[in-house]
Amino acid sequence: MSSMTLKEPRSFFTKDTKSKGEPYVWFTGMGLVLGIFMIVSLLTLIFVKGFEVFWPDRVMLAELREGSPGAAGASRFLAGSIVMRQEKPVRDLTAPHDADTTELQLFVGNKDVYGFAYRFVDSSDILGRTYPQELMRIERLEYGDAMGKAAGLRVKGQAYLPASDPAFRASLERLVHDAEKRWKEIRRIEKSEIGRINRTMEKIRLKKKSLQASGEADVSERAAALDAQSSELQEKYEGLAREAARLRSMQKDSALDYETYTGEKKSLPAGEIVGFYYPNELYLPQRIAFLIGKIISFLTAEPREANTEGGVFPAIFGTFVMTVMMSVAVTPFGVLAAIYLREYAKQGFMVRAVRIAVNNLAGVPSIVFGVFGVGFFVYFVGASIDQLFFKEALPTPTFGTGGVLWASLTLALLTVPVVIVATEEALAAVPRGMREGSLACGASKWETIARIVLPASAPGILTGLILAMARGASEVAPLMLVGVVKLAPSLPIDGEAPFFHFERKFMHLGFHIYDLGFQSPDSEAAKPMVFATTLLLITLVVVLNLGAIFIREKLRKKYATGAF
């Protein structure tokens, strides 16, 4: 505390006017700086890395020194966009070393040609850097992106169209567009139509199996009817499969010829091209437009190539469905328990003990809940349901294996303490005067709770629910045990009766990150996708949390001023 303003004899605070221990205050300030620095730099890292994935960076054509270890093959040229720049540490103290020890990591693409997509090149090895305008980056269905100079277009039944032709780009764009439409058609046939036939045939097979198992006398006639149905479907299936095969062969009719900057000539069927652009020619607005387009396709597309390419739509949808189901399960139970604890239970030692215990439950490791989910829901409840209702499908489990229902119930248990604690706090914050006013007006206890207390505490309950949702959306460990998968063949909700398929396995953003980052065979190639997914998940969680904080602050102000 400053004692400057006091008019005292100088001798009173004599030796110095400094208060004791000021350096220590600065020292404690370090803690805050470090804490804030950690979180800010982490979020910045994720945002930068996440957006970098979508950003159409310029591609450099480097001329390398003869014999550079970074070169691909015999060529002295290498085209690539700079991913990372780092200092190489000097290890060998006895040998002389260069002044420039930076090395660049380049994304060079063309994995089918080189066998790698990323390459480290010493900065001192690069003799010249150019940014050719005509460099084309092609997004493909397989092997990641290709980079090179377009040579020409071979279209079935048309003359060869060289890249120098002004109509080249427009025709290539049209071809890619047509190919995409055909892919959609193929997907529709193979996934929904053939899928539906397969499921119907499976149902018929199970019906037949249970018919035979029933031991009734006159089964042969009905079995024959089922057989007939089945063979009819089989015929339909073959027709569809032929159609799909025809479309697939059409995808290869036209092709794009291009040449990589290391000199290899390649030809790519139009059906393999997802998109193309000229990264060195784009202006800033075009780059931003490209970025937005990429983000939209990331959010809406299905994953490709073992999840390392394409989008994350099924994971978003799976996370959403699971979180919603969890909220539906957790809200009534959490609120009911909180109302009991706060309004009905006799406040005493027992209730205090229960309250402490409930508080602590929020700190129990999530994996413990996962263990319970596996043992109780999947193996006990699920297996019993299978025994009762899905006997004909056994030994293939229906509910007796992980699924979105069990996952959301497990997470509901995990988050129920969060909701109970938040609701209790919200109920306690409702001023006593409001309750007494209501009771004095003749309302019964339940009416007071339902009409006065609950509406007043709704924002608090909502805060708790949002926090629970944020926790549910970001939790992975228990989900790994109860039904999350790397790649789910179908969504948990779709257009097929009965529309809600709660027994299905599902994809989840958090698990997507784990799987890509940890279990992917080529972790370098998976990295951009993991960063993009991380950005999405972090955004989701941070927005949910900020929402909760915002509501809480509003609530605090309301009660601070609007007391009775």
Closer CB to other proteins, 56 or 510, in the complex: 510
Residue 149 near residue 279 (C-beta atoms within 8 A): no
Q: How far is the CB of 227 from other proteins (least distance, A)?
A: 24
Q: How far is the CB of 546 from other proteins (least distance, A)?
A: 7
Closer CB to other proteins, 108 or 537, in the complex: 537
520: closest CA among 319, 309, 298, 301?
Answer: 309
Closer CB to other proteins, 34 or 289, in the complex: 34
Closer CB to other proteins, 188 or 352, in the complex: 352
Give residues with Cβ within 8 angstroms of 502, minimum separation 6.
Answer: 325, 403, 404, 405, 492
Query: What angle in degrees, to the nearest 10, is found between the helix axes of 404-429 and 523-561?
Result: 30
Nearest-angstrom CA–CA distance, 459 and 423: 9
Closer CB to other proteins, 115 or 363, in the complex: 363
Q: How many CA atoms lie within 13 A of 335 on its CB side?
A: 20
Nearest-angstrom CA–CA distance, 498 and 320: 19
Closer CB to other proteins, 219 or 241, in the complex: 219
Task: List the structure tokens of 344.
Answer: 């009905």
φ/ψ of 129, rounded to 5, equals -125, 125
Closer CB to other proteins, 32 or 284, in the complex: 32
Q: How far is the CB of 415 from other proteins (least distance, A)?
A: 11
Query: At which residue do the structure tokens 């970025």 appear?
Result: 291
Q: How far is the CB of 467 from other proteins (least distance, A)?
A: 8
Nearest-angstrom CA–CA distance, 195 and 486: 20
Q: Which amino acid is at 69?
A: P
Give whole-number Cα distances, 156 to 153, 179, 256, in Å: 10, 14, 12
Task: List the structure tokens of 542.
Answer: 């941070």
Nearest-angstrom CA–CA distance, 229 and 237: 12
Using CA atoms of 243, 248, 249, 253 in order, give the dihedral in degrees to the nearest 10.
130
Give whole-number Cα distances, 517 to 48, 298, 559, in Å: 18, 17, 46
Q: How far is the CB of 308 from other proteins (least distance, A)?
A: 13
Residue 405 near residue 500 (C-beta atoms within 8 A): no
Give Rg (Cα) of the chain.
Answer: 32
Closer CB to other proteins, 155 or 354, in the complex: 354
Residue 545 near residue 467 (C-beta atoms within 8 A): yes
Task: List the structure tokens of 206.
Answer: 């199970």
Residue 465 near residue 329 (C-beta atoms within 8 A): no
Q: How far is the CB of 20 from other proteins (least distance, A)?
A: 4
Q: How far is the CB of 503 from other proteins (least distance, A)?
A: 18
Residue 478 near residue 411 (C-beta atoms within 8 A): yes
Q: How far is the CB of 13 from other proteins (least distance, A)?
A: 9
DSSP 453: I
Closer CB to other proteins, 344 or 389, in the complex: 344
Q: Transcribe 409-472 into DSSP letters.
A: HHHHHHHHHHHHHHHHHHHHHS-HHHHHHHHHTT--HHHIIIIIIHHHHHHHHHHHHHHHHHHH
Q: How far is the CB of 320 from other proteins (least distance, A)?
A: 16
Closer CB to other proteins, 46 or 108, in the complex: 46
Closer CB to other proteins, 101 or 200, in the complex: 101
Nearest-angstrom CA–CA distance, 373 and 479: 9
Q: How far is the CB of 449 from other proteins (least distance, A)?
A: 8
Q: How far is the CB of 39 from other proteins (least distance, A)?
A: 4
Closer CB to other proteins, 26 or 131, in the complex: 26
Q: How far is the CB of 366 from other proteins (least distance, A)?
A: 7
Task: List the structure tokens of 65.
Answer: 């020194």
Q: How far is the CB of 14 from other proteins (least distance, A)?
A: 12
Give whole-number Cα distances, 107 to 1, 104, 445, in Å: 58, 10, 68
Closer CB to other proteins, 34 or 127, in the complex: 34
